[in-house]
Amino acid sequence: MNKTFKTIYSVLFFLVISLPLVLMPFFKNKENLEKRDLAKFPKYVEDGRLNQDFSTGFDTWLNDRVPFRAQLLSCSNFIKTEVFHTSTSNVIRGKEGWLFFENESPDYMNTNAMTDNEIKAFGVTLSLIEENVTSRGGRFVFAPIPNKSSVYGEKMPSCYTKAPENNLTRITKELDRINVSHADCLSMLVENKDKDLYHKRDSHWNYKGAFMGYNRIMERLGAPHKTYDDAKFTKTLTWRGDLDKLLYPAGGFMDYQYDYDIKFSDFTFKRPKKVEDTATQLKVFMGDGEMNDEYFITQNKSAQNNGTAYVVRDSFGRALLPFIIDNYKEATFRRTTAPDITAVPDGADMIYEIVERNLHRVTAKAPFMFAPQRKLDIAGLASGGDAKVFSSNEKYGARIYGMLPDGIETGDGRVCIILSDGGSSYCFEAFPIYEKELISETSGLNAPARANGFSAFINGKETPLSGTYDITVVTGGKTYQGSKITLSPAAS
């Protein structure tokens, strides 16, 4: 009897553990709730050798395709969060059923603090963008949207300690100091948080929070706009939050949404073309699927207030779409953190929206904008040492970027590059941005994680540069000498 039982037990055991492999051909993960590509089947041979990481790759591939994976993951996360009250799957379980995105915690506790030089570089970068836009007759506003934990910090778990200041509050003070146009949504949302402005089970604001944010952004932009003061809303339990999806991919709990009864004027899509059902297409762009929403253009012939808008946005900007479309005859929307400022039309209003947890991306890569020429007298300035300078010849002209010595004082944060060939001298103001990835890729150097840097795009059509130039970098009242660079004329 004992032997028979062991045999049956062994057979059942191997049947259970082999069941996923048997069922795999009949199941397919159709939905990628984790917003990542499923792991590919590993190669047996790589670079002419046996793949020694095959077992690890196979394990990852298999885990992504195990039948009932979503159900098993949902069950596991329910036990962890609802029974043991722990955080999991990049989701922080807060108080009273509130969920928070794990990526918010460094901002909440200020463990990702920017250096003083980086804060100044942030401000200078935005000031250069604003200068460019306003010099061509447009208006500019920077709109940093606070993390949910920055507004509803009292709902965070007690084990997370809120810092008295962080990158957002320091950047706000810096933008105030140097008079860069920005919409302070943090103070407005905190003052009105009793009105339920963020979802409990989503990392984003709800439509009520976005409604208030829209008005604050347009007010700070200085653009005439519809305020929709008399708009009524309905509170419905119809929203499935992104954090809830991460926890329960097989189906979880619904959240409240505030649906406004607003009759927006009719509009069309200039891009993508031939869209007949504009309402459905807009709904797709407002959803969290992020399907082909990197670049689209709307036209609204009924708009009376404003001409053209150029909106740089992230996922928080989805809820702002119908309001902006309703107030501009034409609106371009780009989902990026390295905007092309040369694409902003003359006279257009530029709205640069980004959520707090992604603020570091603003200065991780220089936006494409031609460096303005300056007049600068460097006579009598002390030398601060050497600068590592890199350059490339491009169709539009030249790109010059590099690093400055560690621990230097950058003064007001501005960086100028002076090119001289013995007869002529040119001075350009660069973005004070350290191009870590670019330097690593083009130079082969093991670039440090953080450094003082600069990045400039030179318009070769307006300033034809050809030949070998000495380069001097100026910041903080000191000069830094770089190696000679050779430039060629821009392509015609």
Nearest residue to 264 via CA among 231, 292, 310, 233: 231
Going from the C-alpha of 140 to that of each of 37, 171, 220, 369, 466, the distances in angstroms are 36, 17, 9, 15, 35
Note whether 431 and 128 are within 8 A (CB).
Answer: yes
The CATH architecture annotation of domain 382-487 reads Sandwich (2.60)
**CATH 2.60.40.10-classified regions of the chain:** 382-487
Summarize the chain as % helix, strand, coil (round to 5). Answer: 35, 25, 40
Q: Rounded to a whole number, what is the distance in angstroms from the first to the last CA of the chain?
A: 90
Q: Is the pTM of this model over 0.85?
A: yes
DSSP letters of 247-280? Answer: H-TT----EEEEEE---PPP-EEEESSS-S-HHH
The pLDDT, as a whole number, for residue 442 is 84
Q: What are phi and psi of 268, to 5 degrees?
A: -130, 165
Radius of gyration of the chain (CA): 27
The model's pLDDT over 403-448, given as tens digits with 9 standing for 90+, comes to: 999 999 999 999 999 999 988 999 999 999 999 999 999 887 788 9
Going from the C-alpha of 446 to that of each of 114, 163, 434, 456, the distances in angstroms are 21, 33, 14, 22
Q: Which two three-digit tokens encode residue 174?
A: 């810096």
Q: Which two three-digit tokens encode residue 491?
A: 């392509």
> What is the bridge-based pairing of β-strands 382-386 and 478-487?
parallel
- pLDDT < 50 positions in the chain: 30-31, 84
The pLDDT, as a whole number, for residue 81 is 67
Q: Which two three-digit tokens encode residue 127?
A: 């000031």
DSSP letters of 36-68? Answer: SPPPPPPPSEETTEE-TTHHHHHHHHHHHH-TT
Q: How far apart are CA 91 and CA 200, in angstroms?
A: 12
Interhelix angle for 116-135 vs 167-177, to 10°? 50
The pLDDT, as a whole number, for residue 490 is 82
The pLDDT, as a whole number, for residue 31 is 46
The pLDDT, as a whole number, for residue 290 is 85
